[in-house]
Amino acid sequence: MSLESASAALAFLLLVYGGGLLAWGTWQLAARIRRGAGPATRNLIGRPEPPPWVQDHWACGRCRSVNPRHADRCQRCRAPRADVEIPMPPPATEADIIPAAIPAAGMMVLLEHNATAHDEGLAGHWRLHVNGVIAGSAARRDGALGLLRALQGVETVYYDPKGNGMGPCPIAALIGAFEAPTLPLSEPCPEHVARG
């Protein structure tokens, strides 16, 4: 074997191993950036980490890290979930605000459904606005029906059942729609299924 072919073989070998190490290092750096992107981005824009019950995650009692719901071990300290999981009770829900009577003669009345409230564990999925002021809120469809029945002196309520903008609805028809087996909604909602 000549000196030129030996040096060429050695250079090729160094190139292959060096390239492999460089690729491995780049892959590890990209994975580390991906793992830290969520919290780092939230910290940059000033948005706090969502609580574990919103994300359906669990918290470790040993190292206080938050782990995804499918993990059976802590990602930081590797302790088994069954031994170190901190129980996270959901936040206390607020009571429905359903006045006995809501005078609304000559005013604009709007019934709003917050579709994200179910996922976030918030109360007040249904809100009734009278002239831009919240006159009452309810967590379930029966509470929304109570809000509509409490209205006095109004014939039309603005409502958005299809998610394409508020439109006027006669109050009698809207009350009838809420008394029906399915909700007058086209967006996803746990209450949207027929009542049994």
pTM exceeds 0.75 for this model: no
Cα–Cα distance, 188 to 120 (Å, whole number): 14
Look at strands 102-103 and 85-86 and give their pairing: unpaired
Q: Are 151 and 158 in contact (CB under 8 A)?
A: no
Picking from 59, 42, 153, the residue whose alpha carbon sits closest to that of residue 106 is 153
Domain boundaries, the chain: 1-47, 50-90, 102-192
Query: Which amino acid, 183?
Result: L
DSSP 49: P
- 37-50, pLDDT tens digit by residue? 666 665 665 655 55
Task: Determine contact, residues 76/98, Cβ cutoff 8 Å.
Answer: no
* Structure-block tokens of residue 132: 């831009």
Going 179 to 181 to 187 to 188, the CA torsion angle's sign is positive
Q: Mind listing the pLDDT tens digit for each residue in 58-117?
A: 888 888 888 888 899 999 999 999 999 988 766 555 677 888 888 888 888 988 887 766
Q: Give per-residue pLDDT as tens, 130-171.
A: 988 888 888 877 888 899 999 999 999 998 877 777 888 888
